[in-house]
Chains A and B, each alone.
Chain A
Amino acid sequence: MLKSLTQHRLSGLALLAIIILLVPAFLNNPFQYDMATLVLIYATTVVGLNLLVGYAGQISLGHAGFFGMGAYFSAVMTSRFDWSPVPTLILGAALVGLVAYIVGRPILRLKGYYLGMATLAMGFIIYITLNNEGWLTGGPDGMPVPGLSIFGWELSTFNTYSFLGMEISGSLAWYWLMGVMLILGVWIAQNLIDSPIGRALRSVHGSEVAASVVGVDTPKFKNLVFVVSAIYASLMGSLYAHFQGFITPESAGFMESIIFVTMVVLGGMGSTLGVIFGAALLTLLPQLLADFHDYEMMMFGLILMLTMIFMPKGLLPTTQAFIRKKLHKKAEDKA
Chain B
Amino acid sequence: MFSEFLQYLFTGITIGATYALIALGFTLIYNASHVINFAQGEFLMIGGMATVSLIGLGFPLPVAMVGAILLAALMGIALQRFAIAPAKQADPVTLIIITIGAAIFIRGIAQLVWGRGYHSMPNFSGDVPVRIGGAVVNTQTFWVVGIAAVLVAGLVFFFTKTMIGKAILATSMNKVAARLVGIKTDMVLMLAFLLSAVLGSIAGIIVAPITFTSYDIGIMLGLKGFVAAALGGLGSGMGAIVGGLTLGIVEAMTAGYISSDYKDAAAFGVIILVLFFMPRGLMGARVVERV
- The reply to whether A and B meet directly (CB within 8 Å) is yes
Q: Please report A residues at the B interface, Cβ cutoff 8 Å.
A: 53, 59, 106-107, 109-114, 116-118, 120-122, 124-125, 128-129, 132, 209, 254, 258, 261-262, 265-266, 269, 294-310, 312-313
Query: Chain A CB within 10 Å — which of B227, B272, B279 has the most?
Result: B272
Pair B107/A117 contact, Cβ less than 8 Å: no
- Chain B positions within 8 Å of A, measured between CB atoms, are 36, 83, 86-87, 89-94, 97-98, 100-109, 111-112, 223, 226-227, 230, 234, 261-262, 264-265, 268-269, 271-272, 275-276, 279-281, 289, 291
Identify which of A118, A128, A132, A266 contacts B272 (C-beta below 8 A): A118
Are the C-beta atoms of A124 and B112 separated by less than 8 Å? no
Complex CA distance for A107 and B268, rounded to whole angstroms = 13
Which of A116, A122, A266 has most chain B Cβ within 10 Å?
A116
Contact indicator A117/B230 (Cβ below 8 Å):
yes
What is the CA–CA distance of A269 and B230 in the complex, to the nearest angstrom? 25
Q: Are B112 and A266 in contact (CB under 8 A)?
A: no
- Could you tell me if B91 and A312 are in contact, using CB atoms closer than 8 angstroms? yes
Most chain-B CB neighbours within 10 Å: which of A128, A209, A296?
A: A128
Pick 10 A–B contacts, CB within 8 A, sort by A.
A107-B275, A118-B272, A121-B271, A124-B268, A125-B268, A128-B265, A297-B104, A297-B111, A309-B86, A310-B86
Inter-chain CA distance A266–B98, complex, in Å, is 10
| B85 nearest in chain A by CB position | A309
Q: Which residues from A are CB-within-8-Å of B100?
A: 258, 262, 304
Give the contacting residue for B90; candidates A114, A266, A302, A312; CB below 8 A.
A312
Partner of A118 from B101, B275, B289 at Cβ < 8 Å = B275
Q: Apart from A128-B265, A132-B262, what 18 extra A-B contacts exist at CB < 8 Å?
A: A113-B92, A114-B275, A118-B275, A120-B227, A124-B268, A128-B262, A294-B112, A298-B108, A298-B112, A299-B108, A301-B102, A301-B103, A304-B100, A305-B105, A308-B90, A308-B98, A309-B83, A309-B98
Check if B101 sits within 8 Å of A304, measured CB to CB. Answer: yes
What is the minimal beta-carbon distance from B54 to any residue of chain A, in angstroms?
Answer: 22
Q: Least Cβ distance of B254 to chain A in Å?
A: 12
Residues of B near A111 (CB, < 8 A) are 279
* Beta-carbon contact of A300 and B108 below 8 Å: yes
A254: chain B residues at CB < 8 Å are 223
Q: Using known A-B contacts A112-B92, A308-B90, determine if residue A301 contacts B97 with beta carbons closer than 8 Å.
A: no
Question: Which residues of chain B come closer than 8 Å to A209, judged between CB atoms?
Answer: 289, 291
Q: Which of these, A117, A296, A299, contacts B275 with CB under 8 Å?
A: A117
With A265-B97, A308-B87 known as contacts, the answer to whether A125 contacts B265 (CB < 8 A) is yes
* Contact B261 A132, beta carbon cutoff 8 Å: yes
Q: Tell me if B103 and A269 are in contact (CB < 8 A).
A: no
Give Cα distance in the complex from A300 to B102, angstroms. 10
Q: How far is the CA of A1 from the CA of B101 in the complex (A)?
A: 43
- Complex CA distance for A308 and B105, rounded to whole angstroms: 14
Contact of A122 among B89, B103, B264, B272 (CB under 8 A): B272
Residues of chain B within 8 A (CB-CB) of A295 are 108, 112
Residues of B within 8 A of A266 (CB): 97
Q: Is the CB of B101 within 8 A of A53?
A: no
Residue pair B104, A114 in contact (C-beta under 8 Å): no
A113 touches B234 (CB 8 A): yes
Q: Is there contact, CB below 8 Å, between A262 and B265?
A: no
Min CB distance A182 to B, Å, is 23
CA distance A254 to B219 in the complex (A): 11
Instruction: Evaluate contact between A301 and B105: CB separation under 8 angstroms.
Output: yes
Are the C-beta atoms of B105 and A298 separated by less than 8 Å?
yes
Determine the residue in chain B with the shortest Cβ distance to A258.
B100
Report the Cα distance A265→B109, complex, angstroms: 25
Distance in angstroms between the alpha carbons of A118 and B90 in the assembled complex: 23
Q: Which residue of A lies closest to B223 (CB)?
A: A254
- Give B267 Cβ to nearest chain A Cβ, in Å: 8
Q: Considering the complex of A and B, which 9 residue pairs feature the smallest CB-CB distances, nearest first? A: A298-B108, A301-B105, A301-B104, A304-B101, A305-B101, A297-B108, A312-B90, A121-B268, A117-B230
Query: Do residues B265 and A124 form an inter-chain contact, with CB atoms below 8 A?
Result: yes
The answer on a CB contact under 8 Å between B265 and A129 is: yes
Partner of B94, one of A117, A125, A312: A312
Which of A107, A121, A262 meets B269, CB within 8 Å?
A: A121
Contact A125 to B101, CB < 8 A, known contacts A254-B223, A297-B108:
no
Closest CB-CB distance, A212 to chain B, in whole Å? Answer: 10
A188 to B82, CA, bound (A): 40
Bound complex: CA of A128 vs CA of B109, how far in Å?
30
CB–CB B275/A265 < 8 A? no
Q: How far is the CA of A124 from the CA of B268 in the complex (A)?
A: 7
Complex CA gap A313/B226 in Å reads 25
The interface residues of chain A lying within 8 Å CB-to-CB of B105 are 298, 301-302, 304-305
